[in-house]
Every structure is written in structure tokens, then in C-alpha cells.
Structure 1
């Protein structure tokens, strides 16, 4: 089927329960979106057609830059300054939104169309409390106006979004929340007015799998009970098939395949869709799990699937490289030793809060240890203390045998050239006023490495390594997709060829194809340079592929620690079993 033929099928099949004269809630006809650049107009969305009926759910899947988020932003006219709709129609309940006035769009946003954006930090104002921002959204949407009613509704929507201690959290600020908690706040705000259509742009990319299940169960109940139509944007194919009735695959601004989710996942027709399905970490993880060995998992793919999806082989090869590195590292002294590490925060008005409670673990040189747990379990706080971005309350951290408590000044500066971070939030960690070339080259400049020409060449080399075109050198973070920004953050961290890399949800914002490439890149660099990784993630499928050892954290404590194989094959704690059971799409039979 050609791309044009495929696009014509979008939304044309009406379920048997619907009458022919039923009007769709959302109908997108031949939508085209372009962005003005110095060299002219660049087309980002090229002739997309979608039809959504009331109560239906549809997921748009594709790699970063495929046009998924641009399509979503076009619906509510929230395109970046240089973006504009250049053709087509967007009909919401019969009203053409491309012709709506500014005032009309303001009344539609929030009330008729809710929106959950991808990036939790840049969409929350850092100088306002969480409670103020949620209450402001409630007032703006006309849900309540009386002060007590507004506060009560704010607490209610945050609890619905999975924030159980919402009443205590209202006075806190965004920087005091973990990435997953900030995302939950945005989800609560998007659902506050019970909109007819909810556009969720990667709404759970920052969430651990258990909270992800709570959030998505809530979205499903809205769809079922209130007739809410859900437009879901994700790079997680398992999640898309599990949660949406219909699936649309986008590639380079066009729809290349569409239809019922399970049908596409089990029998993908387009080569690009086949690559997406085969490159999913959950699939590689399950192959390893089912066959009991990495070699058998690779063989089980068959020649046809392997030729269609080199990324899947990359993932399995990554696991193989990991196993070899673990054997070599057995005789090495530990690169990182954490002993009885504790961090207590003093919160005004509520007393002390223990974020990390007597945590101990070791990471052998050249190996990868994953910290896994729910949002707010203390994973990122451990990383910040390791990087000396936070001081510990008690306990100690040894890096290469040196106690970080005694490291100061020039010695700390030198240590940071050997130990680099990749943070969870790809936009917040990039300077919006510096172009991509300067951003990646910043560590080289700071540590006075090489000449100007050699630094520029190193920047180009890093862009190649993270699969980005060299033409991005002169562009700025706001001109890139979320996945592209995360690749820039990874490239910057690798610039100095550090000995230790702390990766805080480093691949959570990436589509599966690039995710597979980055994981393979990290494994290659580890084997070549003897790198040591602390890998913080909520994606257990990725853990199965990349990590040697796993520490499971719950409420600031490590509740289970073992090798990756032991944790997956024989989890001891019920909490660990719940995390494994909540992996999206784990029980969906796949045809590839």
C-alpha cells in the first residue's frame, strides 16, 4: 500500500455501532503545517488526515521529528512562533479551527479540548507554587470561582492524576517535585474541565510504569464514562496498542500506516512500522526472557525480521556486550561506592522529609547499575548527591576511592570532567540562548580541551554518534523536538569522554529507533572506553537490555538489589513484581 493510499483509509471505517450520519468530533483534512526558516518554508506536516468519533481513542506513533506533536499543537493553534498552518482543515464538532478567532480559541482550549504537554518543567512556572498554577487553570476554565471550591477541585484533580498527598503538596514549587510528579500536575490540569477531547502528548514519558498505569486507567475511565475522545501521542508502541483502539504511524510528516492497534502491532505492513515494532525494548527484552539466552533471542527473529529492523539486533547485541563486560569487570575495584547515604529536606510548615534513607550499593568499573522505582522514590536525589549537586545529610560516596565529602575546588572541577550527567529534562538542561554547536562544545571550552578547529570537529563527531544531522549546529533548543533535545544532552555529556556517566531517564524522551541506537552507542562506548554508568529509569524493558545490576527503590530505600537476570527471572519483593507486571504491552502477542 502506498503512502497516499494509506492516508485515504484514515478514519474512513466507521464502527458498526455508529450510524453513517454521525458527525465525528474531530476531523483533520489534508493538514499541512510549515515552519519559516532563513532558507524558506520547511514542511513539517504534509497532508495528514484523521477522523475521531466521540469516545474513541487514537494513538499517533513515530520517531522524533515525524510531525506527531506538530499535528497536536496545530489542533489548538499553539504552534511555535515560526510555525503556521499552510493548508487543510481541522474540524472540531463541525467548527473549522483553522478559521477560529483568537478569542474563540481561548474559549475552546481547556473547556472543549484539554492538552497535556510533553515537557513538564518548561510548562510549569518555576516562581509560582503548584497549587496556584492548578487553581489558576481551574478559574480560567470556569470550573469554579469561589476560593474554597477552587482549592477543593485542585486537590481532587491532582489526586485523580495519581498525586495522593495533593493537599500537602499544593504549597510546593515545581523544582521540589520529581519529573514524574510534575507530569502528574500537568495531567491534572489537562483533565480539570472534563474536556470533550483530550490531547495527550507523551503524557507518561516521565512516569514510572506503576503510576503510568494509574494515569492511563484514569484516562480510559474518562473515555468510557464521559465519552471523552482521546488523541494520544507516544513513541511507546506497546503503550499505544494497549491503550488506544486505533493507531496511526507517522514518518517525515506523513501518515504511512493506520488501522486497529493490535492489527498493526501484530502484522505491520509498512517497512518503517516493521522497524518500530522490532526496535521496541520490550520486544527485545521479552525475546531474551522467553528464550533464556541472548543468542537464541537473536536467532528467534528470523532473517526477514532482522533485515527489516537492525535496531532490534542492536538491542540484543547490547545485552550481549553487557554480559561480556560484566565478566571482565569482576576483578576490577569498584568505581563507585555508596554507603548509608541519607538525604533529609526541611520543608517549611510540614517538617522534615527524608528523600533518601540509608542507601548503599557499589558499581564495578566498566559496568552499569540501574536505579529503578516510582517517581519520588529518591532515584534522582541519589544521582544529584553523586554529582555533588546536592550535599548528603549523612553517609558517604566514594568515587575511584576518593570520598566526595573531602573534594573541593580544583579537585572537584577535575572530577567533573571524569563524571558527566545526562538529566531527565532535555529542555531545562539546555541553554535556550546557545546554539547546538556551542551547547555540545561547552564542556570542551570549560575544560580547555583542544583547539577551536578540533573542538568543532569533535562536535560534528558527537552529532554523528547520536544520529543527528550536522546541519543542526546553528539551530537552537526551541527549534528541536523533545527527542532531538535529549540526544543533544547525551552528546554534550559524552564530549569529554568521561569515566562515569550518570543517566537520569536519558532515553525516556526518545522514539524506539533512536532509543535502540543510543543504548547500543552507550554499550559500545562502555566497551571501548571502560565507562561506568549509573542508569536511572522507570522503563524496566530498557533495564533488561542495558543494565548489569538493578537496585529497586521505594520511598527512599533500596528494597531489592541483584543482577538484572535475577530480578527479572525471580523477583523477591511484591513491589518489584508489580513493576514488572506494569510494563506496557507486556502481554500483547506480537507478530514480528
Structure 2
């Protein structure tokens, strides 16, 4: 037996055992699970012989990149597989009963009542045209928790209060768009736990939330599940979060379990090359800034035994820090002075009030460097980006790009300036036209600004695809045919089409898996070194800031409360708010074994 096969067999044995005490029957036991998706060319396997065990009252996390089979495994437990997916083999024993043999009616009695489910995207899973109260009440009726109209309403209010919404009775008539991301996620968690289930499946429950909001929600979830004795199955790509919140960790790759065991033990001493690569690439566990490198993290051979990348990054970061310390100051690409944005909000019966989203913000970014603008949702950082791109007009203050005042620019001068300053948005699928193929998407800025002829534009598209390490064959593909990481590379290629001097990245990597995220961050570092680009990197993830930014500005309630070099902010934060953000990074204090 090869060493690789032996490691996989040991991982499966660890996943099958170790989660329950001697003599106890596990709450959930998955044995040799196989799941496939029917296509025109036949059945495509997605999960290949997964084994795992979860004891009553315990928490287990499944980690892995997109396509590893972690979400498919979780959805297969309650047979909520999308589209043509189906279980083709194996058993799913829940409390001693094999759920794979249950009829649809029997499964409906299990879903919600005995097994709760918290999906990833709260906005996509809450109906935008129904009030929050109506949707919670519907879930209560469906699970048979109450039938009388008054009882249903009272139970719904209690569910929202249990989810951490103190003014639940007032919020019942509000709609999802009137809730923040954290509040929407609390609603879904409340609905998932409404019937006090024995098992809660949480699929990336906090991936799009700020670290402080994430911590509050996970603390609240931990309290609720502990009080009612619920077991939790976490699906996540954040190794730091998995290590902090789960006693057991299962690592999946290509539909198989490659490593399993106690979370801290796996992170401190990862045995499988793929786990080692995950740990090395995890920004929440990293310690220094990513450096430019000639080799991208593309088509990685995870079977290769040698993993030195994390060590190389730290050594390169130290060299960069020394070089920056001795470098002379460069000219400012962006200067922002006393920038203020006030919104007028229409109230009841025509009454109006004002909201100051950005309050006298000032900063500058040297050419060829990266500044990160960080803070919680609602701190004003995205509003700053919109004013910088002149998608919003400033109420007062000044923005200068390359010495040119932005305020008076209109028409052709503004169009010319925008060609030098391009955005990359958070959601690569939402920011790409689904009806436009990749070649036309990347060429769109060239067409808008009338750069070159058709042949030169095609050549530029090929050049850009090569720059972002995508094959030329993708030119005729459409966004829905690409992975999340590939779509974000396309968005970056489109932003670089006009050879800009400045790129504004608004949460550009927050929704990506850790390995894809590492690829994009490395790509951005390489492009910056090659093209002398200036980045404004807007994010709520301070772990990413550590590995991408030269300087950090921390925003709170519309103001910059702290600004310094990245090392100064991380090693010696002056403000309690900054320290709270740093403390909320999951897994930051875990000592690694690689």
C-alpha cells in the first residue's frame, strides 16, 4: 500500500471514530457515501466513499476547496441535493436510522424538526417580497411547532429574540433588504434552531460577514446549541474558524476524506500534502505579506510531498519589509482630504433626516503600493470607494488622482480618468454579464473607450488571459461555466484591459475558498510588481490585509480611527476598536506545525 493510500485510509478511520465516547451510539454516522450528478454524458461522481461520525452534542467541521464535495456531503444527509444529484451508494445513519431509505414524506418530518439547516447566503435564501415575520411563521407552521395564529406569531417573535434580535416584535413586518447581513444570518440561524433539532447543518454560515459580526453570531450559535444539546456540522473554507469552533475536523479533497481528527492537532501537525497546502495558504493563519512570485498557485499537484510555500512567503516578507524601510517616499497616486458624504433619508409623512456615511476622511496612497481600508459593515469604506470612482458625489472634501481634482470632472475628462482607475467587485458572478462570453467581457472596456481595432483587441484579450493565468480556450465560455476563482480572474483581467494605474478592489476575495483566495492574492502581488499598480483594497477581513497591504486605515462609523503600516497596526494597535477587529480573526493565535 502506498503512503498516500495509507494516509487516506487512516483519515477515513479517524473520521469514522473518535467523535463519540466508548459505548455511545453516534448521532450521525455516514458510511461509504457516494453521490453523483446525472449529465448528458453520464453520471459524474462528486462524493466518493465518505465516512464520518458525529456524536451527540459535538461539533464537527468539514473543510476543503470548492468542488471538494463538502457541501454535497452535507446536503446528501437530508437529501437536498441540487438538480440531478442523487445518492448512489452508502448509508447515512441518523440516530440509528438510515435516512437513505426514507421516503420524501419521511424526510420532510426529519428536516427542520430533527435536523436544522442554515444555508450560506441569507439574501438568496430569504424571499425578498415576503416580510421576515411571515417567513419565520411559515417555517414554524411547516415544522408543526404551532398552529393557532396567535401562537405562531408569539413563537416567531420568540425565535427572533432567541436569534439575538431584541426588538423582534417591531422587526416582524420588515423585509430582508431592511436587515443587515448579520441580522439576516441571525434570522436563518433562528429558523434552523426553531424546533430545537438534534443536529444543525451550517453551510458557510458566516463567510460573507465581518469578523466581529461573525464572532458575535458564532458565539450566539454556540450558546444556543450548547443550551439545547444540538450537534453541529460546519461546512467552511476558513481553517481558523474550523479550529476555533469545532472539536473535530474533516478535510475533503476530490470527493474523499484525506485527513480527519482533532482540529488543533490537524492544524498544528497536518499530515496530508493537501492539508499542508491549505494551512500554508490560509490568510487567517498567515503571518506576513504575500510577495510577488514567478509561479502562480495554478494546477497544484497536491500529491507532491514538499510544501515550503508558507515558509517562503515569510522569508520574502521579511526581505520586503527591509526594502520598504530603506526606500524613499514615492509620489502619491491618490490623495483624499476631509472627504464627507451625507445622505438625506426620507422619513414618515415627508419628514427627512440625514445620515453621515463618511465623516472628514483623509488619507494618501503612494504609487505602486497597497492600502487597505478596513472596518465593519456600515463603517463607510465602500462609500469611500464609490466616491473615488465617482459613482457617488462627495458632499464636501477633496479627492485628487495623480494631482487632478476629481470634483469638477465630467464628460470626456472623467471618462479618460476612469480609464486609469478600474474596479474589481466582491461578487465575480454578479459583476459579469451572464449573456456575454469571457472574450467580450474582457474586451468591454476596450470597446467603451474605443481602444484599437478588432484584431488588436482580440490580441489584448489573449494577453490578459495569459496575465491572469487563464487558458485561451475560455474566450468563448460564459460566466456560469467557470469556477468562482476563474470568474474573479476574469474580473481582474477586465479591470487591467486599459492598463490602469489604480485598481480599487472592493471585497474582491472575501467569497473565495482559501486556495483560490491565495491564488488571487498572489496574482495581485505579481501584477503590482510587474505593472507598478496602486491598489485600494477594501475588506472586512483583517487576515487578508496582513498578506496583501503595505498600509492600513481602520474605519469606524464613517471616520478613520487608526492608520499606519500593516505591521504597526497588527503588532501594536492603538485603538481598542482595532484590537477588537484583530481579536476577532478566527484562528489567529493558533501555533502551526509547518
Class of the TM-score when normalised by the shorter of the 2 chains: 0.7 to 0.9
Which whole-Å CA distance do the structure 2 matches of 1:528 and 1:441 have between them?
Answer: 21
Is residue 332 from structure 1 mapped to residue 331 from structure 2 by the alignment? yes
Deviation, 1:504, is 2.1
In structure 2, the CA distance between the partners of 1:536 and 1:332, relative to structure 1 (3 Å rule), is same
Which whole-Å CA distance do the structure 2 matches of 1:139 and 1:488 have between them?
Answer: 45
Residue among 199, 202, 207 paired with 1:200: 202
In structure 2, the CA distance between the partners of 1:66 and 1:115, relative to structure 1 (3 Å rule), is same
Q: Is the CA contact 2:141–2:152 (under 8 Å) kept in the aligned structure 1?
A: yes
Which whole-Å CA distance do the structure 2 matches of 1:157 and 1:392 have between them?
Answer: 41
In structure 2, the CA distance between the partners of 1:445 and 1:390, relative to structure 1 (3 Å rule), is same
The 5 A counterparts of 1:247-262 are 247-262=249-264
Q: Is the CA contact 1:315–1:545 (under 8 Å) kept in the aligned structure 2?
A: no
The 5 A counterparts of 1:564-583 are 564-583=566-585
Deviation, 1:59, is 0.8
Q: SS of the residue aligned with 1:200?
A: strand
In the alignment, what sits opposite 2:23? Answer: 19
Q: Is the CA contact 1:322–1:367 (under 8 Å) kept in the aligned structure 2?
A: no
Residue among 374, 377, 388 paired with 1:375: 377
Query: Which deviates further from its counterpart, 440-449 or 504-513?
Result: 440-449
Which whole-Å CA distance do the structure 2 matches of 1:258 and 1:90 have between them?
Answer: 18
In the alignment, what sits opposite 1:308? Answer: 307
Deviation, 1:267, is 1.0
In structure 2, the CA distance between the partners of 1:81 and 1:459, relative to structure 1 (3 Å rule), is farther
Question: Structure 2: which 5+ runs fail to align?
Answer: 293-303
Is residue 117 from structure 1 mapped to residue 116 from structure 2 by the alignment? no
Deviation, 1:421, is 2.4
Deviation, 1:173, is 4.7
In the alignment, what sits opposite 1:8? Answer: 12
Deviation, 1:273, is 1.0
Deviation per CA, 1:135-154, whole angstroms, max 9, x where unpaired?
Answer: 44444444455666656655
Deviation, 1:490, is 3.9
In structure 2, the CA distance between the partners of 1:259 and 1:105, relative to structure 1 (3 Å rule), is same
Deviation, 1:170, is 5.5
In structure 2, the CA distance between the partners of 1:148 and 1:534, relative to structure 1 (3 Å rule), is farther
Q: Is the CA contact 2:421–2:500 (under 8 Å) kept in the aligned structure 1?
A: yes
Q: Is the CA contact 1:319–1:545 (under 8 Å) kept in the aligned structure 2?
A: no
Which whole-Å CA distance do the structure 2 matches of 1:98 and 1:16 have between them?
Answer: 22
In structure 2, the CA distance between the partners of 1:548 and 1:228, relative to structure 1 (3 Å rule), is same
Deviation, 1:532, is 1.9
Q: SS of the residue aligned with 1:514?
A: helix
In structure 2, the CA distance between the partners of 1:424 and 1:195, relative to structure 1 (3 Å rule), is farther
The 5 A counterparts of 1:37-436 are 37-144=39-146, 154=156, 157-158=159-160, 161=163, 173-175=175-177, 179-285=181-287, 307-310=306-309, 313-314=312-313, 317=316, 324=323, 330-344=329-343, 346=345, 348-349=347-348, 351-436=353-438
Query: Which deviates further from its counterpart, 231-240 or 489-498?
Result: 489-498
Query: Which deviates further from its counterpart, 32-41 or 437-446?
Result: 437-446
Which whole-Å CA distance do the structure 1 matches of 2:167 and 2:464 have between them?
Answer: 43
Deviation, 1:402, is 4.0
Q: Is the CA contact 1:322–1:548 (under 8 Å) kept in the aligned structure 2?
A: no
Deviation per CA, 1:245-270, whole angstroms, max 9, x where unpaired?
Answer: 11111111211111111111111111
Deviation, 1:272, is 1.1
Q: Is the CA contact 2:12–2:259 (under 8 Å) kept in the aligned structure 1?
A: no
In the alignment, what sits opposite 2:592? Answer: 590
Query: Which deviates further from its counterpart, 452-461 or 491-500?
Result: 452-461
Deviation, 1:63, is 1.8
In structure 2, the CA distance between the partners of 1:97 and 1:366, relative to structure 1 (3 Å rule), is same
Which whole-Å CA distance do the structure 2 matches of 1:486 and 1:189 have between them?
Answer: 32
In the alignment, what sits opposite 1:297? Answer: none
Residue among 519, 523, 527 paired with 1:521: 523
Deviation, 1:374, is 1.8
In structure 2, the CA distance between the partners of 1:254 and 1:378, relative to structure 1 (3 Å rule), is same
Q: Is the CA contact 2:334–2:366 (under 8 Å) kept in the aligned structure 1?
A: yes
Deviation, 1:448, is 4.6
In structure 2, the CA distance between the partners of 1:186 and 1:549, relative to structure 1 (3 Å rule), is farther
Deviation, 1:497, is 3.7
Which whole-Å CA distance do the structure 2 matches of 1:443 and 1:313 have between them?
Answer: 37
In structure 2, the CA distance between the partners of 1:433 and 1:315, relative to structure 1 (3 Å rule), is farther
Q: Is the CA contact 2:19–2:54 (under 8 Å) kept in the aligned structure 1?
A: no
In the alignment, what sits opposite 1:28? Answer: 30
Which whole-Å CA distance do the structure 1 matches of 2:445 and 2:85 have between them?
Answer: 32
Deviation, 1:332, is 0.6
Which whole-Å CA distance do the structure 1 matches of 2:154 and 2:322 have between them?
Answer: 52
Q: Is the CA contact 2:367–2:532 (under 8 Å) kept in the aligned structure 1?
A: yes
Query: Which deviates further from its counterpart, 224-233 or 456-465?
Result: 456-465
Question: Structure 1: which 5+ runs fail to align?
Answer: 295-304
In the alignment, what sits opposite 1:300? Answer: none
In structure 2, the CA distance between the partners of 1:32 and 1:130, relative to structure 1 (3 Å rule), is same
Deviation, 1:498, is 2.9
Q: SS of the residue aligned with 2:57?
A: coil
In structure 2, the CA distance between the partners of 1:392 and 1:308, relative to structure 1 (3 Å rule), is same
Q: Which has the larger radius of gyration?
A: 2
Which whole-Å CA distance do the structure 1 matches of 2:313 and 2:306 have between them?
Answer: 12
Return the TM-score normalized by structure 2.
0.84
In the alignment, what sits opposite 1:298? Answer: none
